[in-house]
């Protein structure tokens, strides 16, 4: 089914090199941490339960935020999808160039102030509540969409090929679920993931270089049209 395909594209977005360096930062925000450590072993049981509730509430707000944005995109995908199809070569070139720039910035080859500030985001300066997390999720989805363009664009093309707006909305809900469920699971398992976070923090520069190289490769695939073929293969496998 196409819903399975868009769900898988959401999962692929979560594990893409765009999101890996951001995951500890986002989970630290969900937990109300400063980012120096996502978990504290000395908390009491009551404090731990309260922290878990706070983490889940912020994670749900963030997920709802980007879901709203993606669902609106899905509702508009009838016109957007046909536009992307008509100008697919230009869209692939522009999107690929943007992703290559993201990759070069991640790898430290180029200095792009917007991306540098985002990568070094100080979560301690952001308000923490469900409404604040909702707005943060909306802003993050808009700012980070170019880097997730291959998967999001494929989901929008599928939505644009549907016969009704409702089907387009449902497809983007499936995409959002594929992206959101791993965030929710990560928020629930935040204590167990603390070792992985420590590893990423200790090797942050190396992780960024590897992710940057993968993003440059992804951008080249997009510019040459090969990413479209890979997405079609994914969709065909899921159908």
Task: Convert the pLDDT of each residue in 111-167 to its tens digit.
Answer: 766 555 554 555 555 677 888 889 888 888 877 766 666 677 777 777 766 667 788
- pLDDT band of residue 5 (cuts 50, 70, 90) is confident
pLDDT of residue 62: 93
User: What does pLDDT average to over the chain?
Assistant: 74
Q: Write the CA distances from 140 to 17, 35, 168, 220, 223, integer angstroms.
A: 16, 18, 22, 24, 24
pLDDT of residue 123: 53
- What is the spatial distance between Cα 131 and Cα 146, in angstroms, rounded to a whole number? 25
**Residue 162: helix, strand or coil by DSSP?**
coil
CB atoms within 10 A of CB 157: 21
- pLDDT band of residue 200 (cuts 50, 70, 90) is low
- What is the spatial distance between Cα 190 and Cα 41, in angstroms, rounded to a whole number? 12
Q: DSSP per residue over 168-235, as a string?
A: HHHHHHHHHHHHHHHHHHHHHTTTTTHHHHHHHHHTHHHHHHHHHHHHHHHHHHHHTTHHHHHHHHHH
């Amino acid at each position: 089914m196409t819903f399975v395909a868009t769900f898988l594209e959401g999962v692929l977005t979560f594990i893409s090199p765009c999101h890996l360096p951001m995951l500890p930062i986002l989970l630290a925000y969900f937990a109300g941490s400063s980012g120096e450590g996502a978990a504290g072993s000395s908390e009491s049981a009551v404090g731990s339960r309260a922290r878990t509730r706070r983490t889940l509430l912020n994670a749900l707000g963030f997920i709802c935020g980007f879901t709203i944005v993606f669902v609106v995109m899905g509702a508009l995908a009838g016109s957007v999808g046909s536009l992307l199809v008509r100008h697919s070569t230009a869209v692939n070139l522009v999107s690929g160039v943007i992703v290559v720039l993201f990759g070069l910035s991640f790898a430290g080859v180029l200095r792009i102030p917007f991306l540098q500030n985002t990568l070094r985001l100080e979560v301690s300066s952001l308000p923490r509540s469900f409404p604040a997390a909702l707005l943060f999720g909306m802003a993050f989805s808009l700012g980070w969409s170019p880097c997730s363009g291959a998967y999001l664009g494929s989901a929008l093309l599928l939505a644009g090929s549907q016969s009704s707006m409702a089907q387009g909305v449902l497809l983007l809900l499936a995409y959002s679920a594929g992206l959101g469920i791993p965030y929710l699971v990560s928020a629930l398992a935040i204590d167990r993931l603390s070792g992985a976070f420590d590893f990423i923090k200790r090797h942050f520069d190396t992780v960024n270089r590897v992710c940057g190289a993968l993003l440059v490769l992804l951008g080249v695939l997009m510019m040459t049209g090969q990413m479209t073929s890979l997405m079609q293969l994914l969709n065909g496998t899921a159908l």
